[in-house]
Structure 1
């Protein structure tokens, strides 16, 4: 197994821009205490308010924020989102942790052939990685 678990860049995300119909799909690239970065196919205007979702976990919004920067990439755009409230940062942190635990569960199955239920995967991940995860947010 890898020394480090896959990080945010493999987490699918959906965003719903205020005032627009539908949502956009993309991939989370980074999560911090102030906000997150993600890639989407089409530009979203700086200043736009949006809700973000982690479709693999819930249909409910994981948090809210506003776009503070938008940079073109080759075939997409990377956006910087500033959280609307401290609570949104906390929720995003918990979502990231859940995604990392699910990635751990998949890697254990792939690399060790062990099937872990979600509770056992969480217990193993917490024992192995939680301290490092917490240090990133200190």
Structure 2
């Protein structure tokens, strides 16, 4: 299933859960995993990190999802458990918790890159493509928003 794209920007961190909102405009696919658990390794310490994304499809709380995010030619893959489903207009906001600390840490970094890329696209649209310096834009996003990204 593909991610639904919303028109308006959302904050990096969800006020209710503290989870990271998936960056708008960045692709995300998910599929339900019927066997196995949400974490890769039961010996890993648990995390408090999660991801919220929008879906046109209702997903049952407790379901295990495999999430795929394409990033710079690679497919990043995570496995987590649905812990929150709330209606938002004509779609559902799905909150996925990552019990595996390694996945949570990777997801946190991937989402920061997604947010920086989305910010770059927004700046390109507003300021024009000729006024952009990728490093300057990334530093600007980090200065403005990195403190709102949850830590592990």
Q: State the match for 2:58 in structure 1.
A: 43
Q: State the match for 2:119 in structure 1.
A: 104
From the superposition, tell whether residues 131 and 106 of structure 1 become closer, same or farther in structure 2 (CA, over 3 Å): closer
What whole-Å deviation, never above 9, does each CA across 1:59-80 have from its counterpart, x for those lacking one? 6244221011222344322211
Q: Any gaps of 5 or more consecutive residues in structure 1?
A: 21-32
From the superposition, tell whether residues 5 and 42 of structure 1 become closer, same or farther in structure 2 (CA, over 3 Å): closer
Aligned to 1:54, the other structure's residue is in SS state strand
Shift of 1:18: 0.3
Distance across 2 between alignment mates of 1:67 and 1:5: 20
Q: Any gaps of 5 or more consecutive residues in structure 2?
A: 1-8, 13-21, 36-47
Normalised to the residue count of structure 2, the TM-score between the two structures is: 0.61
Normalised to the residue count of structure 1, the TM-score between the two structures is: 0.66
Question: Paired residues, what number?
Answer: 120
Aligned to 1:65, the other structure's residue is in SS state strand
Flag the structure with more relative contact order, 1 or 2, with Cα contacts below 8 A and sequence separation at least 6. Answer: 2
